[in-house]
Amino acid sequence: MLEGKELVKGVPRKVAIYGKGGVGKSVTASNLSAALSLMGERVMQIGCDPKRDSVALLTHRLVPSILEQLASESREIASIEGLTAERLNEVIFSGYNNILCAESGGPRPGTGCAGHGVMLALQMLEKLEVFKRHNISFAIFDILGDVICGGFAQPMRSGYCQEIYIVANGEPLSLLVTNNILKAVKRLAGEGYGVGVAGIVDNQRKVPNEKQIVEEFALQVGVPVIDHIPRSLTVQEAEAQGKTVIEAFPRSDQAAIYHRLAQRVLDNRHIYIPRPMAGMDEIIESISAYLR
């Protein structure tokens, strides 16, 4: 049985969603936000990826980013002091079921660290007391997780990511990225930062023996699997409408699964310091019994 440490819950409860690009992280985050909102939570989702597509299923469109509001005529990131509450309100949008939505954005390609841009956006939300002013009870940060550089690890250092969920699947590359995220969490926890992994969300790709692969990986690295999300055409059908499954198909089996995930997140009381593996060779060896 895994032994985690007690999760110290603040207001708002800050949940960070990490995961490999293309693993379904934003879809999972958006459906989680939608389900939590229907459970009575006051939710805000913040996309922390320069692609600014995290909240599109909640707002039904791509929205302007916070860093776009900070851009000068030269299109460089300006100072945090240059943003007022009025200007910030122009890039906070009301989505499905009154979920507040924002995108951090990022600098122009080749002009700066995207992770640094994410931190600027998060600092603005804090400085202008957005969570307090809007009575947010759940803040969900959807964070790019392919490369855990100093910039994208900074949200962990700054208290935005105490409770981390990693979206993964049974593909070895997904598990390698997950393992790299776990390395960052372990290192920062060892430096005294109050971070930990609450669980892995297995967003399945129909890999043979996928449930067993993810469960075995999780057992080896010392974190729980919080849920298995089966691959479903319902997700693609909802995306084609520009909506979450919760909104487009509220009575579907897939919607019920996202509600189950939300309940498990809501009920969670622990975070875990992981035991990441050395690299891909060890990952493959640990799951070799389930590979075909």
Question: Token match 């597509």: residue?
Answer: 53
Residue 42, domain member (yes or no): yes
- 261: three-class secondary structure by DSSP: helix
Are the C-beta atoms of residues 137 and 180 closer than 8 Å to each other? no
89: confidence class by pLDDT, cuts 50, 70, 90? confident
Per-residue pLDDT tens over the stretch 29-57 = 999 999 999 999 999 999 987 778 899 99
CB burial readout 204-237, b (16+ within 10 A) else e: beebeebeebbbbbbebbbbbbbbbbebbebbee
Categorize the per-residue pLDDT at 209 as very low, low, confident or very high, splitting at 50, 70 and 90.
very high
Residue 125 has pLDDT above 70, yes or no: yes
* CATH number for position 103: 3.40.50.300
- The better pLDDT of the pair 265, 147 is held by 265
Return the closest-CA partner of residue 50 out of 26, 85, 80, 74.
Answer: 26
| Alpha carbon separation from 152 to 47, 90, 270 (Å, rounded) | 12, 25, 23
Domain housing 142: 9-290
- 129 falls within a domain: yes
Name residues whose C-beta falls within 8 Å of residue 267's C-beta, 6 or more positions apart in sequence. Answer: none
Tokens of 239: 């995306």
The residue annotated as part of the active site, out of 14, 25, 186, 243, is 25
Reduced to 3 states (helix: H, G, I; strand: E, B; else coil), residue 226 is strand
The single residue of 5, 49, 51, 183 carrying the catalytic annotation is 51
Active-site residue flag, 51:
yes
**53 given a catalytic annotation:** no
Tell whether 52 is covered by a domain: yes
Q: What is the pLDDT of residue 74?
A: 45
Domain for residue 121, yes or no?
A: yes
- Classify residue 4: in a domain, yes or no: no
Residue 235 lies in a domain: yes
Which of 20, 49, 142, 186 is an active site residue?
20
| pTM, 2 dp | 0.92
- The tokens describing 114, both together, are 């995207």
Total number of domains in the chain: 1
Q: Tell me, yes or no, whether 87 lies in a domain.
A: yes
Task: Quickly state the pLDDT bin for 73 (edges 50, 70, 90).
Answer: very low
Question: What percent of the chain clears pLDDT 70, i.e. is strictly above it?
Answer: 87
In a domain, 1, yes or no: no
Catalytic pick from 53, 146, 183, 211?
A: 146
Q: What is the mean pLDDT of the chain?
A: 87
